[in-house]
Structure 1
């Protein structure tokens, strides 16, 4: 069996370090050193005998020319998150399988989200601004801090990240409500969440955390009215996609409701325009799309793909394989 690694060379040895390569070589032969996508496109013939492609950020888009050059390709192991921008109809038509490290990436995003939830419930953003402005500590009892006990957390969409987050919530006394039109009542009961409509979620939650994939049907779905309906001194978190929120309306709402803290790891466009008010707004905590795997965290994704490969060889069901139906709902 033959394989190749194709991805951005900045990440290759971080996602697939030597110890993982050594483990893979116990079962497969690599036809070349790891290649970048540009290197591959200059030498598509190298795919002629390849059975498996290991990839990640900066990997190839599986269009007809690439797939025609790889007649033996059986499976792609994608050591990154969403496959939305790399898979094509031709890929599905050829019956090639793919598994993704989206679940491993979800761990990092869920940890970032939990940190933002705790900071939000501690009113940390406002406390920091007040401290910087006044150079004094606010008096106890006048800090508008809810605290992380017996509060209501609203999750918008219950995909991989939200489900990882629910595992982390087991250490907290949170009531969790959720909006997800694809989830059955039976599934919600199993997850321990109460399903509500979107308007109710915003009105009742102490923290709202957005995890919705960007689809035509979800673009701009979070509107000004949702923010204005939130309770006082509440928190909004977005680690999903910036375009799910109507950003202009969000900015208007956050200007009116300075008691709402917004933790935004994603915006639209990215980065925001230099003239964007988001840079200056005191109730906005802006980070440059870092919630996903960074640093040592990226190796977790490669490790997961090696585990999936071992399961494939053993004829076992792959935990993280994506079929066409799953793909059409992905961000």
Structure 2
């Protein structure tokens, strides 16, 4: 039993135990223990048929600290958690575990999407600048030729001066990409149906339609959320509008690009691509994506990994501290925005 004067909120960790091991350093566990009544080494992975220890902690919990591998918070789970008032998610999207039952009960939700946006935007910036210099193609060609060659002639027209970058989606990540591109001599176009001319002017970009963006940009980078309306938004018509040598960057979700339409454009060498996500997430073993010299294929690494997880943990614990002090979340997730956000 806790002492009557201990008014720290009760907290339970709910995520994959492996993720908890990567997310939380000793300093995070110490901070959690100072802010809340919690067992920082108890990680609940199954809330539907919990162990007695987890069931007892769930019954007391006022806050759940979640991350990747969090179990869905169904009406049944909530019934076993009568005191639960808040979910603090130490990662991006909450769609995998925060259900309608949570919103119906008025549970406050926050996520570390802002922290997770930063490494994705950094990866994108690197991809944009490397694409402009045609780094991938020349690295492959150099490895194959292993000889003196007139690279200046071959790369005539390459470079990053006054290139046009098309950003699809003014999501958190899209906005951060726009910010990171500011110091460079680049023209930035934006397609986002939720941003008006005033909003575009504030971001310092030119608002265009999607087709116009595809036709004008040297580099197209996709940062829209995965929702039904965005499935295959970059399809055969959009790819056909892209000029020869355009680079398509996708760090969002594989489903936003029609891969069947994209493959022939890549195999022919007409377009280049930087793909951190695909559909399916693991391309089949015989996919040409693995071997094409004009494709940089990475295994979904743009988002937080390694030491970058600590940034998400830090942001989540800042929110736990706000909750413990009776303050509203600095970065709440609002149910009304989930229809057009990640």
TM bucket, shorter chain: over 0.9
**Inter-CA distance 315–36: structure 2 relative to 1 (3 Å threshold):** closer
CA distance in 2, matches of 1:253, 1:144: 22
1:46 Cα offset (Å): 2.7
Say whether the 8 Å CA contact 1:224–1:250 is kept in structure 2: yes
Report what 2:316 is aligned to: 305
Equivalent residue runs for 1:170-249 within 5 Å = 170-249=182-261
CA distance in 2, matches of 1:163, 1:114: 12
2:169 matched to 1:157?
Answer: yes
* Runs of 4+, deviation exceeding 6 Å: none
1:132 Cα offset (Å): 2.0
Report what 1:321 is aligned to: 332
Report what 1:24 is aligned to: 32
Unaligned runs of 5+ in 2: 1-8
2:86 matched to 1:75?
Answer: yes
Report what 2:278 is aligned to: 267
Say whether the 8 Å CA contact 1:259–1:283 is kept in structure 2: no
2:19 to 2, 11, 28: 11
2:155 matched to 1:147?
Answer: no
Higher mean displacement: 170-179 or 309-318: 309-318
1:287 Cα offset (Å): 0.5
Report what 1:120 is aligned to: 131
SS in 2 for 1:48: helix
SS in 2 for 1:53: strand
RMSD: 1.7
1:260 Cα offset (Å): 2.1
Alignment deviations for residues 83-133 of structure 1 (CA, whole Å, 9 cap, x no partner): 111111111101101111111111010011111111101101110221122
Higher mean displacement: 2-11 or 93-102: 2-11
Higher mean displacement: 293-302 or 22-31: 22-31
Say whether the 8 Å CA contact 1:7–1:55 is kept in structure 2: yes
1:27 Cα offset (Å): 2.4
SS in 1 for 2:17: coil
Q: Tell me the number of residue pairs that the alignment of Structure 1 and Structure 2 aligns.
A: 330
**Inter-CA distance 137–57: structure 2 relative to 1 (3 Å threshold):** farther
**Inter-CA distance 89–30: structure 2 relative to 1 (3 Å threshold):** same
Report what 2:140 is aligned to: 129
CA distance in 1, matches of 2:222, 2:166: 8
Alignment deviations for residues 44-77 of structure 1 (CA, whole Å, 9 cap, x no partner): 3431111111110111211112111111111111
Say whether the 8 Å CA contact 2:265–2:271 is kept in structure 1: no
CA distance in 2, matches of 1:144, 1:41: 63
Report what 1:2 is aligned to: 10
**Inter-CA distance 109–185: structure 2 relative to 1 (3 Å threshold):** same
SS in 2 for 1:129: helix
CA distance in 1, matches of 2:310, 2:265: 39
Say whether the 8 Å CA contact 1:16–1:303 is kept in structure 2: no
1:150 Cα offset (Å): 1.6
CA distance in 2, matches of 1:213, 1:69: 32
Report what 2:4 is aligned to: none
1:28 Cα offset (Å): 1.1
SS in 2 for 1:47: helix
Alignment deviations for residues 266-298 of structure 1 (CA, whole Å, 9 cap, x no partner): 000010112322222222111110100111001
SS in 1 for 2:34: coil
Report what 1:168 is aligned to: 180
2:103 matched to 1:92?
Answer: yes
